[in-house]
A and B are shown apart, each in its own frame.
Chain A
Amino acid sequence: MGTKTMNIAATSRSFVYVLAAGLVVCTASKSASAQEVVVTGPLAGAPAAHRLRLYREGRFEIQPNATFSLLDEFKREIFVGATLNYNLSESFALGVWGSFAVAKMDTALTQHIQDRITARDCPAVTSEADANYLDCRLTKVNLGSKFTNQLGTVDWMAVPQLTFTPFRGKIAFFQSLFVDTDLHFFAGPAFVGLSERKNCSSVETCSASFSTASRTTITGAFGLGLSFFTHKWGALVIDWRAVPFSRNVGGFDTAGSGPNKAFPDNKISSDDRQFRFNQYVSVGYSMFLPFQNRVSE
């Protein structure tokens, strides 16, 4: 009995030690974040920042910008355009972004495929029995003599958009250059004009024409960006934008027959369009009107 009581006492003591050790650990871990400031007294509940420069509220924003396509398989594109915004408040703006493609450059892959087309030197008509022209026969629908001419490209984009600016602050470079900065998000419907290989419905018609046709598609666009205010009236802006929609970038027949239409059907049609994220980076300079900004309370 006595031994049992002693065991219970020892167990209880151990439990208390473990509990005490746990408390110490918990307390210690709390002291690690003791530097976080808890504001009490008259400043409790006060806004995080006072006397903010109101760069946006009630001002028009005109931003000429250059836009570069990202992660292109066959053609890189450069667009020139502008963003026009009216800032309803410091956080919300209504406006439109529009851009036109001014340069379309072939990627290394496009050049590589063109080199193969040149090396194959496919005749207009090939015999089924001629093994030397196997590649020519199998790519008859997909490759013309000038690969670059059949590639799908975006020609222009127009995006009415709502811009939301929830975050604003400052960045310090080398502890000597301080720049007011904000982080904004935007979204809206997108009207996209693009060139794409013309539809065709048979091997004969498809292998005879590799030209492109224009079409317009409506989708959505969204993105985010940073504004670095260099003046009360101006800011350098860098935006990342996604305009997701389906298109046929290579002018290939990749789908249309078989299970889930996942196999080529010797036709060029909307089935051959593949969903792409279509990402872009814009660099621009925003000018705000009127030139003078206000300051918050």
Chain B
Amino acid sequence: MNKSRIGLLLVAALSVLPASALAAGKAKAEAKASIGTDSGSEAEASASTNGAGASGEEAGAAGTAAADDNESETPDTGGGLEDICKIDPEACPKIDFDKEAKKPLGEQIFAVQQIYALRVRRFELNPFWSMSLNDQFVGHNGIGLGINFYPFNILGIGVSGTYFNWFNTDSSFNADVRRSARVGVPLTEYDWNASVNLTFVPAYGKFAGFGDFIFQYDAYIVAGGGLISTRPIPVFDPDYRNFSYKVKPSGNVGVGLRIFFYRWMAAILELRDYIYQEELENTHTGGSDPKSGGAMCDGTQGVNHSDAKYWLCEKKLTNAVQAQVGFSFFLPTTFDYRLPK
């Protein structure tokens, strides 16, 4: 019993010794410093994975390095292990150092450990506000909701929709151009859109704010297809023309950024381009005679103003680029990691 106590004390003493041995070799210390410099980003990454808690990982890594140094230096100290074996043969290490040294050191170290918020097998509710970015004449603002399910951590499938009807706006620039240049531009307004989307999350990361706190984010690419309901705003012959909303097929692609406040809640900023074929109003109006003063698409006069088949002319592939700002709520709110930290 006493022997084993003495043995344990010796082991403890030996494990302390290497730390002082580290400081002795200047060349080795410099080498370690440079390693530290090179792996600085990894250390930072592991640290910032979990705030201050990750410092422990770093310390652990340093400890591992120290232990490795000890193993290589032990034979030079002359008999440290032999002493243990003499005192307590049962505690004598039975490690073949030559064999161990030949083992490949291919340990995989993850630069960013334990993704802060796993998406796999979780639902995402995403209410958002949508604003048009590339239409100077009409603002297509809307309120929307997206629902996604992530069968994989990097891939989600879902649906989203936006309601525009109440929120279409006319810009002062539109009035200025019409008054100053007497040039009309065919305008459209939106009712709603709906689409089925695939969301791919290839990038994620984190920021340390003021060197004090850490927040996590991810970046995603989204693409899908669906429907959009739009109609022209009567600009050229508003006395006679009145358009109804028509549903058209549309595709969409976008990129987004999600900034996590909690593992179940994030703010999102997304740019989405809704691509569809728009039918534009006939820019020709013809004369003032309601029976025969209208014009066909090529400007030929003599058709009835009220004949709706001459109201629409050009079909144009339209890119409606929308900025979508909102929140993401992940359900269930908790999850388990597959591997321990």
A interface, CB within 8 angstroms of B:
31-37, 39, 43-53, 71, 73, 91, 109, 112-113, 116, 135, 138-139, 142-143, 166-175, 178, 180-183, 250, 252-254, 264, 274, 295
Contacts and interface: CB of A to CB of B under 8 A. Distances in A.
Contact of B182 (A139, A166, A264): A139
B206 A51 contact: no
A51 B207 CA distance: 15
B226 interface: no
A39 B43 contact: no
Interface in B209-260: 209-215, 219
A61 B112 CA distance: 28
Contacts of B105: none
B185 A51 contact: no
A138 B169 CA distance: 27
B205 A172 contact: yes
B51 interface: yes
B166 interface: no
Contacts of A46: 52, 55
Interface in B77-102: none
Contacts of A34: 334
Given A73-B136, A172-B112, A264-B179, A178 B208 contact: no
A264 B215 CA distance: 52
Nearest to A183: B207
Given A32-B264, A71-B133, A181 B207 contact: yes
Given A112-B183, A139-B181, A252-B181, A167 B55 contact: no
Contact of A167 (B43, B136, B207, B263): B207
Contacts of A138: 182
A251 B174 CA distance: 15
A47 to B, nearest CB: 6
A43 B58 contact: no
A43 B52 contact: yes
Nearest to A141: B180
22 contacts: A35-B263, A36-B262, A43-B53, A47-B52, A47-B55, A49-B48, A51-B36, A53-B41, A109-B177, A113-B177, A113-B183, A135-B182, A166-B209, A169-B206, A170-B48, A170-B111, A172-B203, A181-B205, A182-B207, A183-B207, A254-B180, A295-B40
The 5 closest A-B pairs by CB, nearest first: A171-B205, A169-B207, A252-B180, A167-B207, A46-B52
B194 interface: no
Contacts of B167: none
Interface string B42-57: 0111011011110110
Interface of B: 36-37, 40-41, 43-45, 47-48, 50-53, 55-56, 58, 110-112, 133-134, 136, 173, 176-177, 179-183, 185, 202-215, 219, 262-264, 333-334
Contact of B204 (A44, A116, A171): A171
Nearest to B204: A172
Nearest to B43: A51
B207 A173 contact: no
Contacts of B133: 71
A252 B204 CA distance: 48
B49 to A, nearest CB: 10
Contacts of A167: 207-209, 215
A52 B202 CA distance: 25
Contacts of A171: 203-205, 219
Residue from A49, A51, A91, A113 whose CB has the most chain B CB atoms within 10 Å? A49
Contacts of A173: 202-203
B51 A170 contact: no
Contact of A47 (B185, B203, B211, B219): B211
A284 B231 CA distance: 41
A170 B41 contact: yes
Contacts of A35: 263, 334
B158 to A, nearest CB: 22
Nearest to A294: B37
A51 B52 contact: no
Nearest to A136: B182
Contacts of A53: 37, 40-41, 44
B182 A39 contact: no
B35 to A, nearest CB: 11
A178 B176 contact: no
Contacts of B210: 91, 166
A44 B51 CA distance: 10
Nearest to B264: A32
Contacts of A73: 136, 173
B51 A50 contact: no
Nearest to B135: A71
A170 B210 CA distance: 15
Contacts of B202: 173-174
Given A32-B334, A169-B205, A183-B207, A116 B183 contact: yes
Residue from B53, B185, B219, B334 whose CB has the most chain A CB atoms within 10 Å? B53
Nearest to A263: B179
Given A48-B48, A116-B181, A254-B176, A172 B53 contact: no
B235 to A, nearest CB: 13
Contacts of B181: 113, 116, 139, 142-143, 250, 252
A236 to B, nearest CB: 14
B203 A48 contact: no
Contacts of B41: 53, 170, 178, 180
Contacts of A32: 264, 333-334
Contacts of A31: 334
Contacts of B214: 48-49, 169
A142 B202 CA distance: 51
Given A71-B136, A73-B173, A178-B112, A48 B180 contact: no
